[in-house]
Amino acid sequence: MNIKTLIRTSLIALGLTLAPLGVAAQNLFSAAILVNDQAITNYELKQRIMFLEAMRFPGVPDELAPKQLIEERLKKAAADQLGIRVSEEELQFELESFAQRFNVAFDEFAAELERAGISVDTPREFIANQLLWREVVRARFGAQANVDEAQVERSANAEKSGSSIEVLLTEIIMAMQPGQEQEVRERARELSKIRSFDAFSDAAREFSDAPTREFGGRVTWQKLDTLPGVLQP
């Protein structure tokens, strides 16, 4: 299914048309939600709902949209505190990568969204906030998010001394929607064949429905001897 058909059929399923949004003009930019005295407007909320439905994100758009927008406001505040910014070059690269999921350039992707009444600012904000949060995670936990030679040596020494080894867990969680059970099972079987950390992280960013997808499925460091037996080597 091409991007034009995807967007049209998704919005029709949601009960939306290509006409203007059903919020009165005078209320369009009024606050729907307040997060630390910052407003999420009715316009932003409607746009995100339409975008989520058009992209067929797992979950209920009316419930997912406000949750996402609230989380993004908090994440952006954390990025602002650390002085983190995303360059236009970084953002454009990620937007092109996102559009490539539908085998189109971002300009074509954006044009189809605009025809469906979805502003190009909506995917831009969505992707920009993901990039900001990724940089926040790196800034705060970067020392734990990358395994270097020194860490390998420390782990080896810990093993020799009998102390506990820590491992970095990564995950891919996929929602199983009605009618998609077989597709999800087949994808899970394919993903289980991955043996490369980088490939697994890329797959997490593409397929995982968990919040950890934003940083390659990385969960946290945990002591090896505290993990369930099925997760131990």
pLDDT tens readout for residues 27-86 = 777 788 887 777 888 899 999 999 999 888 878 888 889 888 988 888 888 889 889 999
Q: What is the pLDDT of residues 135-189, one digit of tens each?
A: 887 777 654 444 444 444 554 455 444 445 666 677 787 776 677 778 888 888 8
Helix (H, G, I), strand (E, B) or coil at 1: coil
- Domain boundary pick from 113, 139, 165: 139
The pLDDT value given to residue 210: 72
Cβ(74)–Cβ(190) below 8 Å: no
The rounded distance, in Å, linking the Cα atoms of 31 and 29 is 6
Cβ(31)–Cβ(39) below 8 Å: yes
Q: Residue 84 belongs to a domain with what CATH number?
A: 1.10.4030.10
The pLDDT value given to residue 214: 75
**Which structural domain, as residue segments, surrounds residue 199?**
147-231
Q: Does one domain contain both 96 and 209?
A: no
- Domain boundary pick from 139, 163, 193: 139
Q: Does one domain contain both 17 and 100?
A: yes
Q: Does one domain contain both 84 and 155?
A: no
CA neighbor of 72 nearest in space, from 60, 82, 62, 64: 64
The pLDDT value given to residue 101: 81
Q: Does one domain contain both 165 and 81?
A: no
The pLDDT value given to residue 223: 62
The rounded distance, in Å, linking the Cα atoms of 216 and 156 is 25
The rounded distance, in Å, linking the Cα atoms of 159 and 225 is 11
Q: Does one domain contain both 100 and 195?
A: no
Q: Does one domain contain both 17 and 124?
A: yes
Both structure tokens of 218: 């990385």
Q: Does one domain contain both 135 and 155?
A: no
Global pTM? Answer: 0.55
Q: Does one domain contain both 129 and 219?
A: no
Q: Does one domain contain both 118 and 197?
A: no
The pLDDT value given to residue 136: 81
The pLDDT value given to residue 188: 87
Q: Residue 166 belongs to a domain with what CATH number?
A: 3.10.50
Q: DSSP label at 25?
A: G
Both structure tokens of 204: 């997490």
Highest mean pLDDT among 4-13, 18-27, 181-190, 207-216: 181-190
Q: What is the pLDDT of residues 76-123, one digit of tens each?
A: 888 898 899 999 999 999 999 888 888 889 999 999 999 999 999 999
What domain count does the chain have? 2
Q: Does one domain contain both 90 and 64?
A: yes
Range 94-101, long-range pairs (CB < 8 A, 24+ positions): 94/127, 94/130, 94/131, 95/123, 95/124, 95/127, 98/123, 98/127, 101/206
